[in-house]
Chains A and B, each alone.
Chain A
Amino acid sequence: MVNIQQLHFGYRKKKVFTGLSLHLQPGHIYGLLGKNGTGKSTLLRNIAGLLFPDQGTIDVMGFEPGKRQPAFLQEVFMVPEEFYLPNIPLQQLVTSLSPFYPRFNQQQFDRYISEFEIPVDNKLESMSYGQKKKVMISFGLACNTSVLLMDEPTNGLDIMSKSQFRKVMAGAIDENKCVIISTHQVKDLENLIDRITIIDEGAILFDQTIEAISSKLSFRISFDHEEVKRALYSESSLRGSAIIANNTDGEESKIDLELLYKAIVTNRQSIQSAFHS
């Protein structure tokens, strides 16, 4: 659904991507992880047609995003991390924007707004950052575009809203939609994303499904010195060492995304070797 080949992109002097390739399929929620400044938002903007590749190609459902053809734009929605909303009532915003999205569903939007407990009568400027964010999320989901891009969607959401966000997302994904969420808050989304994509140093460092990860790697707490030494990655904690080891007995453990991320960023070879054996 989204095909990126050898993408090169830079802002003036700063190179961001140097030959990034990525293939995204419908029916999944992709978690896009990476250090600050590695280009997560830049990648989303390239996919949305807000930025243009220097070299390489991006294909989204047969369209070239940079051309910004209406038939492409009605299939893509992006919830940016920071955004401006005009000071108008909620429904006026919907009336002005929804005609651009043929599959927009007002009932669905109203349901999200009530699930997120957003006061409908308020003007947008009187809303808090978190409330505005929830408006954008609700609108983006209700547009029912094939591609939905979300940049740090849980930033600014309170605890209840994060839980509602997960519920709403779990109910919104279907086999025709491709959702890409960039995030640092892996704990917020741990059980929601089913494919992890990590970018670093201008390219894709790691890209695997949750299923593949738990069949290849084992996440556990160990008190055994030898086992900790042999582990692909370990981190001492109060309750013994949290380790990532090769999954040798076929037993699938719960993935600790934060630990996996640290392991890949600090010692990628050892983790990647587990997937190539």
Chain B
Amino acid sequence: MQFRESQAIYLQIADYVCEKILLKEWKPEERIPSVRELAVQLEVNPNTVMRTFEFLQQQDIIYNQRGIGYFVSASAPQQAVLYRKAEFTEKDLPQVFRNMYLLGMSPEELKPWFEKYKQQHFA
């Protein structure tokens, strides 16, 4: 995983977990890697992953079963979409809109590009 410039690491790890869930690699009621496993894999301090897990628990995306580990919650796919959508509209979209404005592009103009992208990557 490549860490981006701007966002706190624990939030970037939260994005990573959400992506696994949205891509259905991690399914509801399945156990996810432990704090330590994820820390080793991502080469970060386990306390940072702990913070991510606490954050994701608050968002109802994962839950903790004492002594067993962390699991994807039943509502995780919806919750992950909610969380990521809010992040996307607040953080990523303004940058896109700025460029669209500068280049005089309309949302309609984007549609074929979007279709092509989906075809190439997720067909």
The residues of A with any CB-CB pair to B shorter than 8 Å are 27-29, 163, 166-167, 170-171, 173-174, 191-194, 210-211, 214, 219-221, 252-255
Contacts and interface: CB of A to CB of B under 8 A. Distances in A.
Contacts, number: 61
Contacts of A255: 8
A192 B45 contact: yes
Nearest to B43: A166
B6 interface: yes
A170 B5 contact: no
6 contacts: A167-B40, A191-B42, A191-B45, A192-B44, A194-B48, A210-B48
A170 B6 contact: no
A192 B42 CA distance: 10
Interface in B15-55: 36, 39-48, 51
A211 B11 CA distance: 12
A88 to B, nearest CB: 31
A170 B8 contact: no
Contacts of A166: 43-44
A174 to B, nearest CB: 8
A170 B12 CA distance: 17
Given A170-B36, A170-B39, A191 B9 contact: yes
Given A214-B8, A254-B4, A28 B40 contact: no
A193 B51 CA distance: 14
B3 interface: yes
